Chains A and B, each alone.
Chain A
């Protein structure tokens, strides 16, 4: 157990060090370390940024099934979802910071506010959202923190420190915290949908000069793909973490998550179908050229192999093929594939549209991330995993076992479903 954990952290640490090296290079030399150009000003970092915002929004929305809608079958991943959402958001902002031409001015958007800019609103929503996630996570943990604080050890001391002097936790306290969680979750739903991830889709949707992005479907597609990736990530994380720790896996929970994930994936594919038909029949060269770049150029592997094959065909096969559909392994593999596929989705949103020249006659661009871009991205991925692992190690992320008094965290405030 311990060996496994240390190997895991060692691996992450190594990648993180490579990431730090890349980040130092990038800070010292600037964006010249990337393959970005004035024609393709956004690349891998922006793609990963929207990928992580999506993971966060998806994971958070899943947590509201527990804390707002009282769906007991997902209770075991409620805190996991909040922690994942929080960590993903931190990583997403890490990517934004890496991408800024003037990193030293990262705080300017908070003091200068151009109100017609979606990005300016986004930054504020991200801030609010992170605060909300941290508060929700804390409130959801409190019941078990109190229990831990009595147990001593470093975990006990950490719990005591987090509780800020609170020593007793009655049913009344628990009820109050659940009410608070419900209120925060309810506020969080529109915040996550319209502010955080729909808003991130709006960043692209409002850009009139790029016909492929422009339109109201983009924000909707973003929210749906966020649900897909968030649900898939939580499924994968839940199973892999419990397997690695040698803990039993709740098969019915995995099956329920798998069904949800498949449903979301179908909705996403349906919306993409609409989008591709409209774009495919467009007579506007700027649209059809983007589609051709995505599907028929040297970049098309990202669409056909990553987005479509890994991200849709394989997982749908796994969740419907009789030999794999009811197995935890099959659903987990499908979940991992979906998460990887969504990376392709994000790249295909950002890159092909910036390869095609914005004005006919301007040169076509080319973009593939540099080693520094990949290394720094890997570094931020592992930073996220390190933060998550530390969170799981130091906080009572898993709800109490049923044997321990037969209660689950939301017992006292369960609406009749």
Chain B
């Protein structure tokens, strides 16, 4: 019996390679081994459909803590000790999101502290904080700004009426109004393409068309996250000062950084619970 099983495993592995290589169809593979597997192990090789057993098995797995995975909540960590104030994040953000003049999702607040010769420079990159309790979403009369499950504060461009109450309410100045300006004088074809913000391709940029007349802000490059890429500012940061990840994953780099005594958030006293952390 033991030998049988060993032989069965070996030949299944050989045939599985053929399936992967495409020289053997999956159907033939199943037809060849289903009966043998049931005979040897008493289980069906491929459950024909999801049944009560499958759900129970999954539940058991959850109880034991295996495969238990919360959906991700994205956060950003910015190490101020590594930030050199080069504004690469700002530039790459503009390039990635093709934001028009007057709209900048990210800025670097550069401050000189103290008097010569006892001075130091402080650079604070400021994307949207993606607050967990966002004042902008609280005041929006139509609910165009809302909180996504992954922690990103999103704007429904097709619902925003452009009242700009959110801009007044944002404690971080992270929101911009799209006045309809364009770089078409400086850059050929600027209007011909827009970034697929929130995963929606809106085609060319046209007057009086969404998002012109709307309020805009950093999305953590949601359209990039969807294809497994980091936000543009994180990817391009020269000093490697920006980190991005899932705070629901205790093993993630950012989760560990957030636990550092160096970690703080901007204007924490307001209770907005930002998702952007800084390391001092």
Contacts and interface: CB of A to CB of B under 8 A. Distances in A.
B154 interface: no
Interface in A73-115: 99-102, 105-106, 108-109, 112-114
A131 interface: no
A208 B161 CA distance: 22
Nearest to B166: A41
A151 interface: no
Q: Please report whether the interface of chain A is mostly helix, strand, loop or mixed according to DSSP.
A: loop
A407 to B, nearest CB: 47
Interface stretch (A189-197, A294-302, A355-363): A355-363
Contacts of A101: 160-164, 177-178, 213-215
B280 to A, nearest CB: 16
B253 interface: no
Contact of A117 (B141, B180, B208): B141
Interface string B220-257: 00000000000000000000000000000000000000
A26 to B, nearest CB: 12
Given A101-B163, A362-B173, A119 B141 contact: yes
B233 to A, nearest CB: 18
Nearest to A37: B102
A117 B181 CA distance: 29
Interface stretch (A7-15, A27-35, A132-140): A27-35
Given A113-B143, A114-B142, A118-B139, A41 B109 contact: no
A99 B123 CA distance: 35
A41 B266 CA distance: 22
A41 B177 contact: yes
A206 B142 contact: no
A31 B143 CA distance: 22
B214 A362 contact: no
Contacts of B83: none
B181 to A, nearest CB: 6
A223 to B, nearest CB: 21
Main secondary structure of the interface of B (DSSP, over half): loop
A30 B212 contact: yes
Contacts of B161: 100-102, 105-106, 108-109
B162 A38 contact: no
Contacts of B173: 38-39, 357-359, 362
A359 B160 contact: no
Interface in A152-200: none
A210 interface: yes
A403 interface: no
B171 A361 contact: no
B113 to A, nearest CB: 10
A120 B166 CA distance: 13
Contacts of B270: 208-209
B128 to A, nearest CB: 13
A30 B160 contact: no
A210 B168 contact: yes
Interface string A390-413: 000000000000000000000000
A114 B144 CA distance: 9
A207 B168 contact: yes
A29 B180 contact: yes
Interface in B140-189: 140-144, 159-165, 167-173, 175-181
A8 to B, nearest CB: 35
A114 B140 contact: yes
B11 interface: no
A207 B167 CA distance: 11
A209 B159 CA distance: 24
B276 interface: no
A100 B162 contact: yes
Given A30-B180, A112-B159, A119 B208 contact: no
A119 B164 CA distance: 11
9 contacts: A30-B213, A38-B103, A101-B164, A112-B144, A117-B141, A119-B141, A119-B163, A206-B139, A361-B109
Given A36-B179, A358-B173, A361-B110, 4 more contacts: A99-B163, A101-B162, A105-B159, A209-B270
Interface of B: 102-103, 107, 109-111, 124, 126, 135, 137-144, 159-165, 167-173, 175-181, 207-208, 212-215, 266-267, 270
